[in-house]
Amino acid sequence: MIMDAVSIAENQSPPRGAASPLKPVHELAGDMLLEMGNHGKAAELYEASLGRMANRPRALLGAARSYAGMDDAQNARQSYQAFYTLWQDDSLSEVTEAKGFLGI
């Protein structure tokens, strides 16, 4: 069912401005697939989400986690770095995760 929503979203124009709904469907589907261990498909969906709405921190983080789960260190590092560039709040566990991967 979620993939039906992804198909519908792909036939629409990318949002202009803030995401509506708050979590784009590609990102939501990526989160679900990542949780199920389907890192490859999750990475595809996060990248599609980023193609529609660049620099969304949660999509960058999801992509980084997906690539790390596939042992694709180069793309994981690139995504974690992009995430860390946007969010550097050390009180967030996600930032600690990114810093750990990046060795900062």
Q: Are 23 and 45 in contact (CB under 8 A)?
A: no
Three-state DSSP state, 15 = coil
* Whole-angstrom distance, CA of residue 39 vs CA of residue 83: 18
Q: Taking all residues of the chain, what is their mean pLDDT, rounded to a whole number?
A: 89
Residues with pLDDT less than 50, the chain: 5
Q: Tell me the per-residue pLDDT of 62-82, one tens digit each, with 9 for 90 and over.
A: 999 999 999 999 999 999 999
Q: Identify the pLDDT of residue 101.
A: 98
Q: Identify the pLDDT of residue 22.
A: 76
Q: Identify the pLDDT of residue 91.
A: 96
Structural domains of the chain ordered from first start:
2-102 (1.25.40.10)
* Whole-angstrom distance, CA of residue 75 vs CA of residue 66: 9
